[in-house]
Amino acid sequence: MTQRVKFYQTGTFTVGNRLLDADSRTVQATLDRSNSLTSGHRACQGCGEALGARYAMDTAMRAAGNKVVAVNATGCLEVFSTPYPESSWQIPWVHSLFGNAPAVATGVAAALRAKGRTDVRVLAQGGDGGTVDIGFGCLSGMFERNDDVLYLCYDNEAYMNTGVQRSGSTPATARTATTPAVGAHPGNTFGQGKNMPLIAMAHDIPYVATASVADLHDLEAKVTRAMEISGARYLHVHVPCPLGWGSNPCDTVKLARLAVESGLFPLFQAEHGAVTDVTPIRRKVPVEAYLRPQRRFAHLFRKPPDTESLAAIQAIADRNIRKFDLLGAGGG
């Protein structure tokens, strides 16, 4: 029997495993989890990427009977997990280049098919830079061919590994090393954005979802769902980076949650190009609540505050809320 759990019981929306029966607990909470990304790696304190990767990989391993091969793009996750001769990976893992993880994964999947190893599953993973920028062509090719690969993008909204430079996923106004908070329009410019999950959906691939380290149960559920499907699948995970965002390491999950609750990072699932499920916002917060604790947005809150930019960011959130019906006007 599954309990109906209200995750806001602790008052903070924290997902309390102890409130659940054993079957409903996270893979991460089980003693027999694979511990694919084991301790001792060199991520910063409070690294959202390390957290997301650990949950995602162990869940995928559980779903695949512990038969997973992982391909990693260059980036923080790769660097902090494999300083030679040490490795945090307890699974077969290969790093080739920054921009080719999807194609390398295609090759691994092809080799397994050639050898008749239908039992082994292939995962590829990279940061936002490796995914939406330099690896974009390879990723689109992998989608178009519908190769049997689950691709995980850990989106911390900049090139963190090289010292926090702007990527195609960096939000407007954010300060990075290449979009400094100086001049008439400090921080990143307001561009058109690059919504990788929607671009993935435009390929009509079997499964696309967004997830966040704010809701690790949901992240695990989405990885599990993705692993039930074959073909090209894409999971875009929002992972705060204390170093790059100038946030408190203990606030990683809180910031991730504020991104979701403000509407800036909508959580949804889609199959074959159509949205099948949206996670409604439970308590809407203004974008300011999300932006203010991060030093990368500090210039918005100088005296006088940059109300114009704040309004523009709020408009982005509101547009998301309307587009994905995040307040559940359509029910829920």
Placement of tokens 């945090």 in the chain: 88
Is residue 42 within 8 A of residue 61, CB to CB? The reply is: no
Q: Does 185 bind other proteins (CB under 8 A)?
A: no
Distance of alpha carbon 71 from its chain centroid, rounded? 16
CB 271 within 8 A of CB 207: yes
| Residue 128 touches which of other proteins, Mg ion, ligand SF4, none (Cβ within 5-8 Å per kind) | Mg ion
Q: Which of 243, 253, 270, 291 is the binder for ligand SF4 (CB under 6 A)?
A: 243
Grouping H, G, I as helix, E, B as strand and the rest as coil, residue 151 is: strand
Contact between 127 and Mg ion (CB under 5 A)?
Answer: yes
Q: Which two tokens stand for residue 12?
A: 């903070």
Nearer to ligand SF4, 143 or 154 (CB): 154
Answer for which of 43, 73, 270, 326 binds ligand SF4 (CB under 6 A) is 43
Query: Tokens in use for 2?
Result: 């599954």
Does 136 interact with other proteins (rule: CB under 8 A)? no
Burial 103-113 (b: 16+ CB within 10 A, else e): bbbbebbeebe
| H-helix or E-strand spanning residue 157 | none
Closest CA to 209 of 140, 278, 144: 278
The footprint of ligand SF4 on this chain (CB under 6 A) covers a number of residues equal to 12
Closer residue to ligand SF4 in complex, CB, 71/76: 76
- In whole angstroms, give the CA distance from residue 326 to residue 279: 7
Residue 125 interacts with Mg ion (CB under 5 A): yes or no: no
Minimum CB separation of residue 45 from ligand SF4 in Å reads 8
Binding residue (CB under 8 A) for other proteins from 8, 9, 38, 144: 144
Q: Please, what is the minimum distance in Å from the beta carbon of residue 292 to ligand SF4?
A: 20
Residue 125 phi/psi, 5-degree rounding, is -150, 150
- What is the Cα gyration radius of the chain? 19
Which residues contact Mg ion by CB under 5 A? 127-128, 156, 160
Which residues contact other proteins by CB under 8 A? 66-69, 71, 78-79, 82-85, 87, 89-97, 99-100, 103-116, 120, 137-138, 140-141, 144-145
Which residues contact ligand SF4 by CB under 6 A? 43-44, 47, 49, 76, 80, 156, 160, 241-244
